[in-house]
Amino acid sequence: MKFGTYFAYWEQEWDADYPYYCDKVARLGFDILELGAGALVGLSDSELSRVKSAARDAGISLTGCIGLPAAFDVSSADKSVRDNGLDLLRRILTAMSKIDATVLGGIIYAYWPVDYGKPVDKPSVRARAIESMLSIADFARENGVLLVLETVNRFEHFLINTSEEAVQLVKDIGHPNVKVMLDCFHMNIEEDFLGDAIRTAGKYLGHFHIGECNRKVPGKGHMPWEEMGYALRDINYGGGVVMEPFVKMGGTVGSDIKVWHDLSGGADEKKMDEDIAEALRFVRSKFA
Ligand code: MN
């Protein structure tokens, strides 16, 4: 297992000075920095090259995450919207290959967050999501990027809420470059037992997001860390375990994630660094 964190713990917008965070997370003991994949398409080749060098010099690997905006919904009934989404995914994957990023996860099979003001036609969305993922899977592999489909709670999307649904979707896509991504924040809402859900994903699990039920850093809440650790060892999981804490209000991140009070205890950047370094030691001890 490799351990990482999402950059947005420290940020209020979905883009950031990524070389700065390469250094920071390496210094804090992480193996992986997860980036906002959407922001990569706005970077020039020289900026991408700075990110690549910073990661290499810091000795960390890079992964990316995105919830596709509605205008780029690859499961849309409108073919022009699907094509926009696939085009954006290709541009993201091309940028990811330029920084040697290895995994793209999130809501890459539809859009996020889903608009429940519209009717839900799950079978049609599912069929188009399968078609879109199949059409991009080879391109992703040629760029050295594994696609992982994040399984999220019912309030954010309807297509895959459980590990069982995610595995069935990945089996129906049937491409070795498309795997399941779980996130214990969402699992806590949808699954009976988190260990069982991890075992259900088994060899299909390609990426794992972690955090407490209220999205604080691991170790500050009641998430069943030992149960998850046993299950990850049972399935011989060797992929990324990436923290996705959100503890600060404000900006696009605070509003998209719906952080309406300060969960950091008024922490400044130095205290936030200490908190997440402590969380890393905690998770390594539970999952090792
Ligand atoms: Mn997540």
Per-residue pLDDT tens over the stretch 197-249: 999 999 999 999 999 999 999 999 999 999 999 999 999 999 999 999 999 99
Query: Could you give the CA distance from residue 259 to residue 261 in angstroms, rounded to a whole number?
Result: 6
**How many domains does the structure of the chain reveal?**
1
Q: Is the pLDDT of residue 177 over 90?
A: yes
Residue 180 Cα to ligand 1 midpoint, Å, equals: 12
Rounded distance from Cα 169 to ligand 1 centre (Å): 18
Given this model, what pLDDT does residue 254 score?
96
CATH number, domain of 241, equals 3.20.20.150
Residue tagged 């979707």 (tokens): 169
CA 106 – ligand 1 centroid, Å: 7
Please give the Cα distance from 171 to 226 (Å, whole number). 29
Q: Give the Å distance between the CA of 48 and the centre of ligand 1.
A: 24
Measured in Å, residue 209 CA sits from the centre of ligand 1 at 5
The candidate with the shortest Cα–Cα distance to 242, out of 62, 66, 10, is 62
> Across-strand partners of 207?
181, 240
Which two tokens mark 258? Answer: 């719906």
Q: What average pLDDT does the chain have? A: 97
**CA nearest neighbour of 25 among 62, 77, 78, 68:** 62
pLDDT (mean) for 36-65: 97
pLDDT reported for residue 121: 98
Catalytic machinery residues: 150, 244
- In the prediction, which pLDDT does 15 show? 84
Output the pLDDT for position 266.
97
The dihedral over CA atoms of 9, 11, 16, 20, expressed in degrees to the nearest 10, equals: -60
Query: How does pLDDT run across 125-165, given as a tens digit for each residue?
Result: 999 999 999 999 999 999 999 999 999 999 999 999 999 99
| Cα–ligand 1 centroid distance for 245 (angstroms) | 9
Query: Structural domain of residue 261, as residue ranges?
Result: 2-287
Distance between CA atoms of residues 156 and 98, nearest Å: 31
